[in-house]
Amino acid sequence: MRNMTFCDIFSGAGLFSAGFVDHGFEPVLAIDISKEAIASYNRNLRDVGVTASVSGFDDIPQADVLIAGPPCQGFSTLGRQDPLDVRNDLALEVPRWAKASNAEVVVVENVPPFLSSQQWRRLAVMLEGQGYEIFTWLLDAVDYGTPQLRRRAFTIASKIGRFNAPAPHHERITAGDVLAREIPVGDELHRWPQPVGIAAQRIQLIPPRGDKRDLMRLAPELCPPSWTRVGCQATDVWGRVDPDQPLNTIRCTFQNPSKGRYLHPVENRTLSLREGARIQGVPDHWMFAGRPYPVARQIGNGVPVPLARAVAGAVRDAISKTEIKVAA
């Protein structure tokens, strides 16, 4: 079987790419506007990453597959869901890249609300106009060997016919399964912001599996009035990870306890960058370029690697079957 090639636009540090590389696909180009993300890509995968905007770029190589993870902030329920967010239109770069690269299969990953956006409808019409058949998969990373609940929409544009989504795994893994593995002394990514002041006082009081509700009960003097005013709607904040469950979706802000259930199950700190990477299924030999927040962004932005691998496997099987049929 020949090596299949792919191009990754909005590649980030390459978590989506990693799934394709694991299935024997060769990346010919990865492009992202973040220089740290591209430095990580080039270090961990192949040295084909370029730092540039997808929009102005014309030197597009030929590839069997085009994968794309355009920014999702304008569509995400965790963001402002702003239909006027200028980043939303970046998804419409995909048809130009599909045409120039001559890809047989295009895979666009985003948050589920993307599928109801006007950008998605325009994207689908443009790709259909180029002869692609369009179908979508809604997949949850927890069903594919990731210790995380993370639903993502995959839009497939295919010139080789419709093919099936990957079959879910039978067993789920938990946060505890990956956090319990030893981290070697000296791993530069095993770091977290040292909590100080009121944050340190709060964290010390939060029991295993607890969250801000425990703080309101145990130490109301450490809780701002806004917590009482808005009730307990955002209950997951200042929460400790439950080691017996998968994590909720990990975000770029996972080293900020006020943003979710990101405190270590028993230690008085947030998850380290390495632990966050493990929750995304990133292999431990990966290193990321940049200061802690840009690194957390590369991790939190990515497609969980086991989910990426499952999607890549389905694409590879579909292309292989088509080639066998053509050869027969």
Ligand X SMILES: C[S@@+](CC[C@H](N)C(=O)[O-])C[C@H]1O[C@@H](n2cnc3c(N)ncnc32)[C@H](O)[C@@H]1O
Q: Which stretch binds ligand X (CB under 6 A): 31-39, 76-84, 113-121, 146-154?
A: 31-39
The residue among 66 and 215 lying less far from ligand X, judged by its C-beta, is: 66
Q: Give the x/- contact pattern for ligand X in 180-209, rule: CB under 6 A.
A: ------------------------------
Cβ–Cβ < 8 Å for 77, 113: yes
Cβ closest to ligand X, residue 78 vs residue 218: 78
Dihedrals φ, ψ of 304, to 5°?
Answer: -55, 135
Residue of the chain from 4, 5, 7, 15 that contacts ligand X (CB under 6 A): 15
Which segment (4-12, 155-163, 239-247, 263-271) binds ligand X by CB under 6 A? Answer: 4-12
Q: Is 29 exposed, middle or buried (0-12, 13-18, 19+ CB in 10 A)?
A: buried
Q: 223 by DSSP, 3-state: which?
A: coil
Nearer to ligand X among residue 114 and residue 262 (C-beta): 114
Report the C-alpha gap between 233 and 175 in whole angstroms: 23
Q: What is the distance, to the nearest Å, from the Cα of residue 63 to the centroid of all Cα atoms in its chain?
A: 23
3-state secondary structure of 98: helix
Choose between 92 and 173: whose C-beta lies nearer to ligand X. 92
Residues 43-102 binding ligand X (CB under 6 A) are 53-55, 69, 71-72, 90
**Secondary structure letter of residue 104 according to DSSP:** S
Q: Is 72 a catalytic residue?
A: yes
Member of 4, 7, 13, 108 binding ligand X (CB under 6 A): 13
Q: Which of 7, 72, 223, 252 is catalytic?
A: 72
Q: In angstroms, give the least distance from the CB of 268 to ligand X.
A: 30
* 328, burial (CB in 10 Å: exposed 0-12, middle 13-18, buried 19+): exposed
Q: Is 7 helix (H, G, I), strand (E, B) or coil?
A: strand
Question: Under the rule (CB under 6 A), what is the footprint of ligand X?
Answer: 10-16, 31-34, 37, 53-55, 69, 71-72, 90, 301-303
